[in-house]
């Protein structure tokens, strides 16, 4: 291969995309149609207009629900600024068992694992947990946090995912598969919560008996919709229709739609299933293996008590997990819908944005070493005049996987029966979607370093793609595009790619890409020029969008979930810093980095989580005066009761919790 000496790119000019035409060099200016209307009406306005029509919100003030990572767009602000507006004293990496925030800021716990959510629900008692209690309490391991306004900045529904359980951290004397009662508690602790929160002079608190409160569990009834619904691969003895399923599992991050619904994403669903080796059908067994379903017993042993987790007995059940699920948080009776049109993988998140055509675009990463970045483009268009009209938009459209070329261009490859590479191998569109990974393999998508969050920046229009890390990338990948877009060997600290859709159109099938960050410790090996990013870079090479002064830079590893403030600054939550030798193994954290202006790339740390946690979010209130984060799995794997953290209650057991970070003078976060 000649790749070793091939510059990653020489594409600063002469590219197919006219940056002027999409406004990316003019921060804050949306491209304008001949008639003078912006192509992309700000999401905040769209949602506010839409939800304000809702009758139960009568009398409520403006109802800005934030989208695409909690951002809101104000062209006047961004244009006047051209600045990042950041003004806080960055904190240092820490191993302290607490949530640390910059001087002057406060953090408060709003919701903890086990908090009672309904009338008569019992208080949390770690020594007397029951499934019945857990069904009425806030679940375990909170991840995604979505703010859905009821009254602007002071009353809202928080939609929170409960990704997974760790029995050894939950129960005394835990032995996997020993007690059905523990399995049932864990099933009840999975899924998600909708919880009303209010803010008064003293801060945010949750409303215990709100009529909106809801627990969605690992066995809650839900529907399967879209092109794969009813497919023979989705039929089981419990559900011969292939259209109804119990539960959602391993819901990691998610997103929000312009019509005010919650998207929640099933990630590592494979870990719940057992005995793939005993599946007789070769094609089914191979498909499950591609998703990591184990050949023997599962680590959890739930298959001992529930046949559906045993592939030998129910070979199709794993096909019913791995989806993006849409839920209307404003309707406690809404039956969740698994949207098969968005594909089946280890979905990290689902960021939604409107193309100028009005089509809905959903970006998603498949969080696995050497897996892919996806985007869905709806067939229909968004109807701002009737909220309900949009509820089935995510059931029909085109799913694409990303192909990164080594010259800095890229293409979105359609995963459809019209793609000749797929028509030969799949029976129908339903099968393509159920076996999304295999379809993307066949289409020629680019293997990436664990794609996590994929979010459009509402100020500069570019799309930011986080790659958490990839210790298995031990040699230069034979696919040149994969080698240049994932240039470090190995990639211990993760990186972020900046992607520009052709013509600024989110529905486009071509894009350009650049490396935005190569995470790590800039004091060790800081590169300052894109031209230096050749394939096969040393693992400790770092790049902060060209920012050259290591003394002004923070340190970061394992970027995971992201969001933007109204100035377009990129906020990054991490999941894996304690494993980074280059950083000295600090706790996971929240960072912020400007994407434009003189401080582009100047990353600073804003918060630090307690020991053993990952930090999830970020999610801003509409006024940006509150930053919500989920602190997931504090003290993980210490084992009850010897956990490495006792946050937040300083009691015997750590409790994953949602925190609200504010400044007493009410300033916008980070300013």
- Chain residues that interact with Ca ion, rule: CB under 5 A: 252-253, 560-561, 575
Instruction: Choose the contact partner of 624 out of Ca ion, ligand FEO, none; CB within 5 to 8 A by kind.
Output: none
User: With contact defined as beta carbons under 8 Å apart, do 169 and 640 qualify?
Assistant: yes
Strands laid side by side in the 106-112 sheet = 106-112, 657-662, 627-632, 614-620
Instruction: Please give the residue whose beta carbon sits closest to Ca ion in the complex.
Output: 575
Give the residue with the Cβ less far from Ca ion, 216 or 615: 615
Instruction: Choose the contact partner of 267 out of Ca ion, ligand FEO, none; CB within 5 to 8 A by kind.
Output: ligand FEO
Q: Is the dihedral of CA 216, 222, 225, 228 positive or negative?
A: positive
State whether residue 318 is helix, strand or coil.
helix
Question: Least CB distance from residue 654 to Ca ion, whole Å?
Answer: 18
State the alpha helices, DSSP H only, in 269-316.
282-290
Give the residue with the Cβ less far from Ca ion, 377 or 497: 497
Give the residue with the Cβ less far from ligand FEO, 227 or 610: 610
Q: How far is CA 33 from CA 21, 120, 350, in A?
A: 11, 56, 28
Give the residue with the Cβ less far from ligand FEO, 135 or 346: 346
Nearest to 533 by CA among 500, 491, 569, 568: 491
Give the residue with the Cβ less far from ligand FEO, 310 or 636: 636
Q: Is 270 exposed, middle or buried (0-12, 13-18, 19+ CB in 10 A)?
A: buried
Q: In 10 A of CB 480, how many CB atoms? A: 19
Question: Least CB distance from residue 579 to Ca ion, whole Å?
Answer: 12
Please give the Cα distance from 580 to 198 (Å, whole number).
Answer: 38
Instruction: Choose the contact partner of 505 out of ligand FEO, Ca ion, none; CB within 5 to 8 A by kind.
Output: none
- Residue ranges that bind ligand FEO, judged by CB under 6 A: 163, 252, 267, 348, 367, 452, 560, 575
Please give the Cα distance from 356 to 435 (Å, whole number).
Answer: 30
Q: In 10 A of CB 588, how many CB atoms? A: 28
Question: Least CB distance from residue 479 to Ca ion, whole Å?
Answer: 25
Question: Least CB distance from residue 452 to ligand FEO, whole Å?
Answer: 5
Give the residue with the Cβ less far from Ca ion, 149 or 325: 325
Beta carbons within 8 Å of 427's beta carbon, 6+ residues apart: none
User: With contact defined as beta carbons under 8 Å apart, do 153 and 65 qualify?
Assistant: no
Beta carbons within 8 Å of 326's beta carbon, 6+ residues apart: 257, 261, 262, 263, 336, 337, 339, 391, 394
Question: Least CB distance from residue 322 to ligand FEO, whole Å?
Answer: 13
Give the residue with the Cβ less far from ligand FEO, 41 or 371: 371
User: Across the chain, how many H-helices and E-strands are there?
Assistant: 11, 34
Q: What angle do CA 614, 616, 621 make, to 5 degrees?
A: 150
Instruction: Choose the contact partner of 406 out of Ca ion, ligand FEO, none; CB within 5 to 8 A by kind.
Output: none
Cα 178 versus chain centre, distance: 33
Give the residue with the Cβ less far from ligand FEO, 252 or 324: 252
Question: Least CB distance from residue 72 to ligand FEO, whole Å?
Answer: 25
User: With contact defined as beta carbons under 8 Å apart, do 159 and 325 qualify?
Assistant: no
Instruction: Choose the contact partner of 163 out of Ca ion, ligand FEO, none; CB within 5 to 8 A by kind.
Output: ligand FEO
Give the residue with the Cβ less far from ligand FEO, 266 or 498: 266
Residue linked to tokens 């193994």: 585
Question: Least CB distance from residue 351 to Ca ion, whole Å?
Answer: 13
């Amino acid at each position: 291969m000649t790749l070793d000496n091939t510059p990653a790119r020489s594409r600063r000019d002469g590219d197919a995309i006219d940056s002027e035409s999409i406004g990316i060099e003019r921060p804050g200016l949306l491209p304008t149609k001949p008639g003078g209307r912006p192509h992309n009406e700000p999401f905040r306005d769209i949602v506010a207009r839409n939800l304000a029509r809702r009758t139960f919100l009568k009398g409520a003030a403006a109802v800005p629900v934030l989208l695409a990572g909690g951002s809101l767009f104000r062209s006047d602000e961004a244009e006047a600024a051209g600045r990042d507006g950041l003004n806080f004293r960055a904190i240092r990496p820490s191993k302290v068992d607490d949530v640390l925030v910059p001087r002057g800021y406060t953090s408060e716990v709003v919701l903890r694992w086990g908090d009672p959510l309904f009338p008569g629900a019992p208080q949390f008692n770690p020594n007397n947990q029951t499934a019945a209690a857990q069904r009425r309490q806030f679940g375990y391991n909170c991840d995604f946090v979505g703010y859905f306004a009821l009254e602007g900045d002071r009353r809202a529904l928080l939609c929170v995912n409960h990704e997974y359980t760790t029995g050894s951290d939950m129960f005394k004397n835990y032995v996997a598969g020993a007690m059905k009662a523990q399995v049932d508690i864990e099933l009840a602790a999975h899924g998600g919560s909708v919880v009303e929160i209010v803010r008064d002079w003293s801060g945010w608190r949750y409303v215990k008996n709100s009529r909106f409160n809801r627990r969605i569990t690992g066995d809650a009834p839900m529907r399967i919709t879209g092109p794969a619904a009813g497919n023979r691969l989705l039929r089981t003895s419990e559900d011969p229709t292939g259209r109804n399923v119990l539960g959602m599992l391993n819901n990691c991050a998610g997103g929000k739609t312009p019509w005010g619904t919650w998207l929640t994403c099933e990630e590592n669903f494979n870990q719940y299933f057992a005995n793939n080796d005993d599946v007789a059908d070769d094609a089914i067994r191979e498909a499950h293996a591609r998703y990591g379903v184990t050949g023997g017993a599962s680590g959890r042993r739930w298959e001992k008590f529930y046949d559906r987790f045993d592939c030998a007995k129910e070979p199709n059940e794993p096909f019913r997990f791995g989806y993006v699920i849409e839920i209307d948080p404003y309707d406690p009776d809404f039956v969740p819908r698994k949207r098969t049109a968005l594909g089946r993988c280890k979905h990290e998140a689902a960021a939604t944005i409107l193309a100028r055509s009005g089509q809905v675009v959903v970006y998603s990463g498949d969080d696995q070493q050497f897996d892919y970045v996806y985007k869905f483009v709806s067939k229909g268009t968004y109807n701002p005049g009737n909220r309900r009209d949009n509820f089935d938009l995510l059931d029909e459209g085109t799913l694409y996987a990303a192909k990164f070329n080594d010259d800095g261009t890229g293409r979105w490859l359609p995963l459809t029966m019209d793609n000749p590479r797929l028509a030969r191998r799949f029976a129908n569109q339903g099968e393509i979607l159920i076996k999304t990974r295999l379809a993307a393999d066949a289409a020629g998508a680019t293997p990436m370093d664990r794609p996590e969050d994929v979010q459009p920046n509402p100020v500069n229009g570019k799309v930011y793609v986080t790659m958490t890390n990839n210790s298995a990338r031990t040699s230069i990948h034979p696919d040149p595009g994969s080698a240049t877009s994932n240039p470090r060997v190995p990639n211990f600290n993760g990186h972020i790619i900046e992607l520009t859709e052709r013509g600024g159109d989110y529905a486009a099938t071509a894009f350009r890409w650049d490396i935005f960050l190569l995470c790590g410790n800039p004091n060790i090996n800081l590169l300052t020029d894109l031209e230096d990013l050749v394939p096969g870079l040393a693992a400790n090479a770092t790049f902060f969008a060209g920012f050259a002064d290591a003394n002004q830079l923070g340190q970061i590893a394992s970027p995971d979930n992201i969001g933007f403030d109204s100035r377009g600054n990129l906020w990054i939550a991490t999941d894996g810093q304690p494993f980074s030798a280059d950083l000295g193994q600090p706790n996971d954290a929240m960072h912020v980095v400007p994407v434009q202006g003189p401080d582009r790339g100047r990353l600073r740390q804003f918060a630090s989580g307690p020991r053993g946690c990952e930090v999830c979010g970020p999610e801003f209130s509409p006024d940006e005066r509150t930053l919500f984060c989920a602190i997931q799995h504090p003290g993980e794997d210490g084992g009850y009761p010897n956990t490495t953290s006792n946050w937040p209650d300083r009691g015997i057991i750590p409790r994953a919790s949602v925190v609200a970070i504010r400044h007493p003078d009410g300033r916008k976060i980070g300013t």
